[in-house]
Structure 1
């Protein structure tokens, strides 16, 4: 958490969400490495957990790519946003239909992965707020400024989670399309570019 979100202005919300996603990717990648090293119950259960972690990391990477595109709104981003709006709704689903149930599970799964990333970032900010509340000394003015910034970040993340819940269908479509695109690019040997996130 070294950056501590130093952005300001209209990009702050997007950058804070990107930081939340990237921090969660780091955490899940560490879990994945531990499971690959043999931790957890042996056999099918461990393999299933590894597969779930890989899928969650792929979804988060996809959502992070989507968030990074929001600043400049390239053509692919605008098309994907429209596709997510069109396919992400439940208006075509028939209650009780098998495809509708499967789509609902996928939507909830993609949404919950991203929501947990935002929730973890909120918990980190709230933990730092508690630490600041215990601090004292000659830096009271600086501590007050840091506290106000953290309070603002918690509120922004709360708004992001509220908006995310309203767009769970779009999240599912975005994560599905971009994660599949990244997989195809990997098969073709294209690099995903430099990243501070270690590839699982």
Structure 2
């Protein structure tokens, strides 16, 4: 099984940190008119919003982190790495095509929908079979991750359509999507450590 560079721990670990800190800081700058339970993260990155640069910067950092992780996650199947990279590009596109300060936007909505879709699919597409495959890249955990993300995205769309708790649903699904690459990377390092232990014993 191909090894994962140590710097991928940094790129995958920084992704959820950047996203969560971004929406927390941007929401605090936006103040009381913003309702995090009902309003989406994209509202924080709308032109004219008080936290515009903070949330936009968070999207950029998220996209760059996912790109680096996709590049370095060598044990994952190639289609999954491509899907993760596509999710990274979608995050960058969200920063370039922000939501309007009021009303909807077909361009922003389309980019966000593509991002939700590819980031939900990448765990399943990255799955591999074999005894040496890290736990988080095996078919069952990968299918479980994709199912959770797909259900979360569906929940978000329902809440958005019903003008309900869209902010809560979006934060839940985006948190899972940003954390899962870090979980996969940790499982790769754990698997590599198990494989390396017998080799060290033999050398002794």
TM exceeding 0.5: no
Q: Structure 2 length normalisation: TM-score?
A: 0.31
Larger RCO: 1 or 2 (CA < 8 Å, sep 6+)? 1
Q: Structure 1 length normalisation: TM-score?
A: 0.32
